Amino acid sequence: MAGTKQPPLSARQSLWLIAAALAAFLPLAPYLPQWLGIMTALVFIWRSALLWRRSPLPPRWLLLLAVAAATLAIAIYYRTLLGRSPSIALLVLLFAMKTLETRAARDGFALVLLAYFLVMTQFLFSQSLVNAAAMLLEVTLITAALLIMNHQRQGGVRALRQAAVMLAQAAPLMLLLFVLFPRVNGPLWGLPSDAYSGLTGLSETMRPGSISQLGRSDAIAFRARFTGRPPAQRLLYWRGPVLTRFDGGSWSMDRVFPRNTLPYSAAGTAFDYTVTLEPHNKPWLFALELPGSIPPEGLLAADYQLLAKVPVRSRLRYDIRSYPGISAGLDESPAILRQALQLPPRSNPRARAMALSWRADIGIDDEALIQRMLAYYRRQLFSYTLSPPLLGEDSIDEFLFDSRRGFCEHFAASFVFMMRAAGIPARVVTGYQGGEMNPVDGSLIVRQFEAHAWGEVWQKERGWVRVDPTAAIVPSRIEANLASALPQGEPLPFLARPDFLWLHDLRYRWDALANTWNQWVLGYNPERQREFLANLGMRSPDWQKMTITMTALCGVLLAGFAIWALGSRRKIDPALAAWNRLSRKLERLGPRRVGGLGPRRVGGLGLARFPWEGPRAYAERIAEKLPMIAAEIRLIAAIYEELRYGGAASREGLKELNMRIRRL
């Protein structure tokens, strides 16, 4: 290849390359900054216009200038060129520019490789079934473009079909490698800091409005599948970050001391279930209150929060058991109780004053104080809304006495504040409440809009007790779901709306499929791989065994292909075979007849058919040299012609041909 000048690409090849480039770019487009997407689209349009008008490609210096300018724009936009998003933006940019520089086959091939690469980068953003289907289509199109690059005369449909056939043949190999290639848990090295941007979920802190923000998202937080019957809807409190510190504005997690033993003893009804947690890049897991076992990936903090050993950056599955009726913390340490009473001095004076006056009224009865607070919410006509008004510095005061409109975090925060002000140890617990049972596959789906915050108070005889002020105002939020709790006209996320029942059914089916997909394809990690292979009968699978099995099975597959490649010699047309037999017979027969004395191997009359000789020409030549069989040979040639080129090959004709050749 080196040294020889490469032929320029034809217009047809260029067109296919542009189509392949477009196919690789489109799925990425939604994840790129808008201006870059538009610019890339413009470059493609420009390239197509050049092709249409058969104009020459732009000079190299202009391209270099454009690339430099766009690189600068990307650097300014992201304020860096490192990291995942800027790298992909840069890759897309270079890719688009390369389409303007496809002169020779080499450029075309470089473009195809880049296109294959871009196909993979879309999975950094989404790995849904739709993306997988898109990947198959894109790869088929790009492969067809590669086919046409290698064989200019090939038709488009034919190239697409050929690409599809080859990919279908590659599929068994893919499956084998996918199942058996020893998986390792990434990352191999430090990932750029923005690698997990765009993941939604609860955070370490809570301020007014932070959870109602999540209420607008119908992304899935996690799925749970119970081995028996799931608990009642009102018991589905999925415990997440426990927020003990309050600085007047926001609530945050305390320093926690994680252990791998339970600080309380299990009691009551147990529920066993498996959680499939979507990545949220935070170091905690979710479990029903209160967890009765600790999964190997996690630890239990002193405030009963289930922590993950490493931030959850890929979908995580864990089996866990919970006891909803457990009471914990009867002998809570004084340090924790002290922390649960902490309040910033001089904040929210009105709320503090009210709490103190209530305490003076009621005396030492903590339970009565709690009931008074809940009654206060009900009596003062507090309303539950997804779009609460913005609050100022003394947010609790403003909420309790002025705005009186809020989402669960407002209620939880004000409740815990009041309790602390009245001398009751209390803390805010965030997490999810509820979940939706998918009747198709029986899994409980918990979405981001089910994010919730509630309170937890400590009582001497009962330990830590959950008190959910939201339930006091809108019981239906807890008994049923978010949609029933919100007043009409609130902007609900699409999937939280109660209408379009048939759509819901469709969604359940789709979600069940997506769940299977997540479990078996996307969640195929080292643990799952070992489990799966062990189920298939591989004893204690490790990477050596996997490699050996993979190699062996690939070998078998390849041997199959080798047989296909070698053994598919087309069976020769029987008429042609008979005709060749005649030629060989005449070749042998010639010298024997002429020489008279036995078979002479050398010489001969040259009666064999020349490769380029048609049946009629051959028959005439033989007829001339061997006049005694002239009539017969002409007849045989006529039969052969009819059989081979006449369209309908009949068995009788073939029989006659064979007979006559034998008799000759």
Partner 1 sequence: MSPTGDLQQHFITWALRGKAPETSPIVLGRRRVFVLPTLAGLAYSAALTLMLIGAINYNLSLGYATVFLLSGLGVIAIFHTFRNLAYLHIAPCRAPPVFAGGKAHFCLLLTNLRALPRLAIRLKLPLQAETEIDVPEDSGIEAILELPAPRRGWLILPRVKISTSYPLGLIRAWAYVAPKMRCLVYPTPAKQAPALPMGPGEDGGNSGGNAGMEDFAGLRGHQAADPLRRVAWKAAARREDAPLLSKLFAGAAAQTLWLEWDALPARLDIEARLSLLTRWVCDADRADLSWGLRLPDKTIPPARGDEHCHACLKALALYGRD
Q: Rounded to whole angstroms, how far apart are CA atoms 230 and 236?
A: 9
Instruction: Write down the H helix ranges in 402-474.
Output: 408-421, 469-473
Is residue 185 close enough to count as binding partner 1 by CB under 8 A? yes
In the bound complex, what is the minimum distance in angstroms from residue 110's beta carbon to partner 1? 8
Is residue 181 close enough to count as binding partner 1 by CB under 8 A? yes
Is residue 566 close enough to count as binding partner 1 by CB under 8 A? yes
The sign of the torsion formed by the CA atoms of 528, 534, 538, 543 equals positive
3 state SS for 477-492: HHHCCHHHHCCCCCCC
Please report the DSSP string for 140-151 in residue order: HHHHHHHHHHH-
Out of 408, 504, 542, 554, pick the active-site residue. 408
Is residue 1 close enough to count as binding partner 1 by CB under 8 A? yes
Q: Which stretch binds partner 1 (CB under 8 A): 168-176, 203-211, 234-242, 442-450?
A: 168-176
Based on CB atoms, which residue is closest to partner 1, 110 or 440?
A: 110
Q: Which stretch binds partner 1 (CB under 8 A): 18-26, 172-180, 498-506, 628-636?
A: 172-180
Based on CB atoms, which residue is closest to partner 1, 185 or 383?
A: 185
Residues 6+ apart with CB under 8 A from 6: 104, 105, 106
Based on CB atoms, which residue is closest to partner 1, 127 or 459?
A: 127
Q: Work out which of 49, 69, 82, 113 binds partner 1, going by CB under 8 A.
A: 113
Based on CB atoms, which residue is closest to partner 1, 147 or 294?
A: 147
CA distances (Å), origin 32, targets 41, 84, 111? 12, 11, 20
Q: Which stretch binds partner 1 (CB under 8 A): 253-261, 458-466, 485-493, 566-574?
A: 566-574
Q: Work out which of 69, 82, 174, 664 binds partner 1, going by CB under 8 A.
A: 174
Is residue 169 close enough to count as binding partner 1 by CB under 8 A? yes
* Backbone dihedral angles phi then psi of residue 223, each to the nearest 5 degrees: -120, 150
CA distances (Å), origin 453, targets 34, 233, 296, 598? 36, 16, 27, 109
Q: Work out which of 48, 80, 131, 205 binds partner 1, going by CB under 8 A.
A: 131
CB 604 within 8 A of CB 591: yes
Query: Binding mask 597-636 vs partner 1 (x if CB under 8 A, - otherwise)?
Result: --------------xx------------------------
> Other CB atoms closer than 10 Å to residue 164's CB: what's the count?
16
> Other CB atoms closer than 10 Å to residue 47's CB: what's the count?
24
Examine the residue annotation and report whether 319 is marked as an active-site residue of this protein.
no
Q: Which helix (H) or strand (E) holds 242?
A: strand 237-246
Is residue 186 close enough to count as binding partner 1 by CB under 8 A? yes
Is residue 123 close enough to count as binding partner 1 by CB under 8 A? yes
Based on CB atoms, which residue is closest to partner 1, 62 or 558?
A: 558
Q: Which residues pair with 467 in a beta bridge?
A: 455
> Other CB atoms closer than 10 Å to residue 301's CB: what's the count?
20
Q: Work out which of 8, 30, 155, 187 binds partner 1, going by CB under 8 A.
A: 187
Out of 452, 504, 511, 542, pick the active-site residue. 452
In the bound complex, what is the minimum distance in angstroms from residue 179's beta carbon to partner 1? 10
Is residue 167 close enough to count as binding partner 1 by CB under 8 A? yes
Q: Rounded to whole angstroms, how far apart are CA atoms 41 and 104?
A: 23
CB 495 within 8 A of CB 447: yes
* Backbone dihedral angles phi then psi of residue 127, each to the nearest 5 degrees: -125, 40
Based on CB atoms, which residue is closest to partner 1, 136 or 219?
A: 136
* Backbone dihedral angles phi then psi of residue 489, each to the nearest 5 degrees: 90, -5
Q: Rounded to whole angstroms, how far apart are CA atoms 11 and 154?
A: 13
Query: Binding mask 277-316 vs partner 1 (x if CB under 8 A, - otherwise)?
Result: ------------------------------------xx--
Q: Work out which of 266, 465, 522, 630 binds partner 1, going by CB under 8 A.
A: 522
What is the DSSP secondary structure assignment for residue 356, as one 8-state letter? H
Q: Work out which of 570, 601, 651, 663 binds partner 1, going by CB under 8 A.
A: 570
CB 369 within 8 A of CB 362: yes
Q: Which helix (H) or strand (E) holds 273?
A: strand 271-277
Examine the residue annotation and report whether 554 is marked as an active-site residue of this protein.
no
Q: Work out which of 11, 49, 177, 631 binds partner 1, going by CB under 8 A.
A: 177
Instruction: Say which amino acid occupies 422.
Output: A
Instruction: Write down the H helix ranges in 347-407.
Output: 349-362, 366-379, 395-397
In the bound complex, what is the minimum distance in angstroms from residue 124's beta carbon to partner 1? 6
Q: Work out which of 342, 403, 525, 580 binds partner 1, going by CB under 8 A.
A: 525
CB 127 within 8 A of CB 115: no
Strands (E) in 423-571, as ranges, are 426-433, 436-437, 444-447, 451-459, 463-467
Is residue 381 close enough to count as binding partner 1 by CB under 8 A? no
Based on CB atoms, which residue is closest to partner 1, 367 or 531?
A: 531
Q: By CB under 8 A, how many residues form the interface with partner 1?
A: 65
Q: Work out which of 381, 565, 597, 648 binds partner 1, going by CB under 8 A.
A: 565
Token pair 């815990």 in the structure block, residue: 416
Q: Work out which of 184, 267, 534, 631 binds partner 1, going by CB under 8 A.
A: 184
In the bound complex, what is the minimum distance in angstroms from residue 311's beta carbon to partner 1? 13
Please report the DSSP string for 100-113 in residue order: TT--BHHHHHHHHH
Examine the residue annotation and report whether 410 is marked as an active-site residue of this protein.
no
Q: Work out which of 232, 572, 602, 628 binds partner 1, going by CB under 8 A.
A: 572
Any idea which residues carry the catalytic annotation?
Answer: 408, 452, 468
Chain positions contacting partner 1, by CB under 8 A: 1-2, 105, 109, 113, 116-117, 119-120, 123-124, 127, 131-132, 135, 139, 143, 146-147, 149-151, 153-154, 162, 166-167, 169-174, 177-178, 181, 183-189, 191, 195, 313-314, 521-525, 558, 561-562, 564-566, 568-570, 572-573, 611-612
